[in-house]
Structure 1
Amino acid sequence: MQDQAEAVQSREFAWTESDFRRIKDLIYRHAGISLHDGKQAMVYSRISRRLRETRHRSFSDYLQWLESQGDADEWQAFVNALTTNLTSFFRENHHFEELARLVRAAPPGHDWKIWCSAASTGEEPYSIAITLADALGLDGRFRIWASDIDTKVLATGARGVYKLEGLKNLSQTQLQKYFLKGKGDNAGLARVRPELQRHIEFFTLNLIEDNWSLRESFDVVFCRNVMIYFDHATQRQVLARMHRLLKPGGALFVGHAENFSDVKTLFALRGKTIYEKV
């Protein structure tokens, strides 16, 4: 109790239960993210940065300004601040093994269309691209749509530059084939080769909004570790729309902590965290 009181006293800005509830409501309405009470410290830390950037002295003043003046850039910064972007190359590798199996089993010349709906800083869509390039070659017929609500992480993905230590899950052959190692001031970094990068389109998309810009029918959708931030009603809404965008028999890859057994009219479980469109 004493440690908690000291933490409260050391805060730069006053912080109330009302501030948290207001932020919780705003992020739910704008991004579908459902925050539980255990996230208060995280919310304070991340949004206090926005107060400093915008030179506000209290959360109530900042939130009032945010809602009243409707600055699109600041709304995006607000959403960016509260999104979590934990990712790595070939994370949950069994998904990429299954994707490779699907590609090998398809008729020759199939035009693969894959949507990565939470692209974050790009490791996931590049892992998808590497999997398809390994199977089909860099000139193979495949296209990857890589979206995220967070514009800052998308810019990192589109840039395609990573620390070499973050590429440890790639084989030496993959590293040499798909990346260019930096030299001099860029030592320790690697850039995705343009031949691979051209297969991917990065763009902003909010999964809970109605105006999805996608008009494709996809063979595979990756939606991993996203639904855990949505409540049940939002999950159902997003899954129904993804269902409509998948081709018959298309695959939905989800995160290890996500289970959609209650949407049997939409998807049937076909493997470890892999669903097939019904």
Structure 2
Amino acid sequence: MSISPITKKEFDCFQSLIYEHAGIYLAPEKKVMVAGRLAKRLHFHGLTSYGEYYRLLSKPEFADEFQIMVNFLTTNETYFFREPKHFDFLRTTLLKSWQGEHFNAWSAACSSGEEAYSLAMVLAETLGRKKWDILGSDLSTRVLDTARNGIYPMARLEQMDPALLKKYCLRGVRSQEGFFRVDESLIDRTHFEQINLMHSLPNKLIKHFDVIFLRNVLIYFDQNTKKAVVERIVKALKPGGYFFISHSESLHRVTCDLEMIKPSIFRKNDRSTL
């Protein structure tokens, strides 16, 4: 059964759908990517056009298909200790002088969990017996399942300190050769939830975190969406808390509640009323 090429009108429908749901803008040049990723779902349902699949998404009996579509269209590229200078700052500057009793970190848009577990290794190494917890969140249920399992291919470890690899990663053998599992002590203190950054945050998260990582996601938002998302997430930071974005991103004209400490690292104003 052959599938008709995606039309501009059909692409526009999916472009609007993912923008309204996730704030992600799919540029026109992403048309081939959208068609390629969704073709598997058309084959699965025995459909021959993308318009048919778009209409299927609105049918109550296919309610779960919408999340599957979101999983296919969201980009999830990450690895352990990506942009290592952020983890160096966390280790040598922020945590070195931290005097609190319970440190809470949020890896927002955590993808398959590598960033969250990288944070966990740093906290485990630096905070000793002090209490700490990490929340990882993403829109995609597929990558969250991977994160909860904590099993990854060895290829994801290029940036990891060999000492951390030896201490916190269990190498697979026989059928699991080429993979490793994050140590149970880290999995126990790192939990994952599906959170849509386009929606209001649960009250339990407001002013809860000492550190928030929101990296390599703002590049997918237009200026208005970026401003709304950042202002929403900053509410979850404690006054004086730290906010990390990717070195390739900017908060220019986005919020006045964050002071830049150095490029890509910001601190929430102590007197913020957010």
Whether 1:177 aligns to 2:184 is no
TM-score (norm 1): 0.90
The amino acid that maps onto 2:190 is I
Whether 1:118 aligns to 2:109 is yes
By how many angstroms is 1:87 displaced?
0.4
Gaps of 5+ in 1: 1-10
* Residue of structure 1 aligned with 2:96, choices 104, 111, 124: 104
Question: Hey, what's the Cα distance between the residues in 1 that align with 2:202 and 2:222?
Answer: 20
1:41-120 matches, cutoff 5 A: 41-69=32-60, 71-100=62-91, 101-107=93-99, 110-120=101-111
Deviates more, 1:148-157 or 1:178-187: 178-187
By how many angstroms is 1:61 displaced?
1.1
Amino-acid identity (%): 37
Whether 1:17 aligns to 2:8 is yes
Deviates more, 1:228-237 or 1:90-99: 228-237
Q: CA 1:264 to 1:117, structure 2 compared with 1: closer, same or farther past 3 Å?
A: closer
Gaps of 5+ in 2: 270-274
1:38-75 per-position Cα deviation (integer Å, ceiling 9, x unaligned): 11111111111221122221111111121243733111
Question: Hey, what's the Cα distance between the residues in 2 that align with 1:102 and 1:134?
Answer: 14
1:33–1:230 Cα contact (<8 Å) kept:
yes
Question: Hey, what's the Cα distance between the residues in 2 that align with 1:256 and 1:53?
Answer: 39
Deviates more, 1:246-255 or 1:180-189: 180-189
Q: CA 1:54 to 1:27, structure 2 compared with 1: closer, same or farther past 3 Å?
A: same
1:118–1:147 Cα contact (<8 Å) kept:
yes
TM-score (norm 2): 0.92
Where does residue 219 of structure 1 map in the other structure? 210
Q: CA 1:70 to 1:36, structure 2 compared with 1: closer, same or farther past 3 Å?
A: farther
1:1-278 matches, cutoff 5 A: 12-69=3-60, 71-100=62-91, 101-107=93-99, 110-137=101-128, 139-210=129-200, 212=202, 214-216=204-206, 217-278=208-269
Question: Hey, what's the Cα distance between the residues in 2 that align with 1:31 and 1:247?
Answer: 25
1:205–1:212 Cα contact (<8 Å) kept:
no
Question: Hey, what's the Cα distance between the residues in 1 that align with 2:266 and 2:46?
Answer: 47
Question: Hey, what's the Cα distance between the residues in 1 that align with 2:167 and 2:239?
Answer: 34
By how many angstroms is 1:239 displaced?
1.1
Where does residue 272 of structure 2 map in the other structure? none
The amino acid that maps onto 2:212 is V
Between Structure 1 and Structure 2, how many residues are aligned? 266
By how many angstroms is 1:176 displaced?
1.5
Q: CA 1:71 to 1:267, structure 2 compared with 1: closer, same or farther past 3 Å?
A: farther
The amino acid that maps onto 2:236 is L
Cα RMSD, aligned residues only: 1.7
2:219–2:249 Cα contact (<8 Å) kept:
yes
By how many angstroms is 1:213 displaced?
6.6
The amino acid that maps onto 1:235 is K
Question: Hey, what's the Cα distance between the residues in 1 that align with 2:256 and 2:159?
Answer: 36
Question: Hey, what's the Cα distance between the residues in 1 that align with 2:178 and 2:14?
Answer: 39
Q: CA 1:70 to 1:226, structure 2 compared with 1: closer, same or farther past 3 Å?
A: farther
Question: Hey, what's the Cα distance between the residues in 1 that align with 2:45 and 2:130?
Answer: 47
2:231–2:255 Cα contact (<8 Å) kept:
no
2:201–2:233 Cα contact (<8 Å) kept:
no
Q: CA 1:53 to 1:210, structure 2 compared with 1: closer, same or farther past 3 Å?
A: farther
Q: CA 1:242 to 1:168, structure 2 compared with 1: closer, same or farther past 3 Å?
A: same
1:218–1:245 Cα contact (<8 Å) kept:
yes
The amino acid that maps onto 2:148 is A
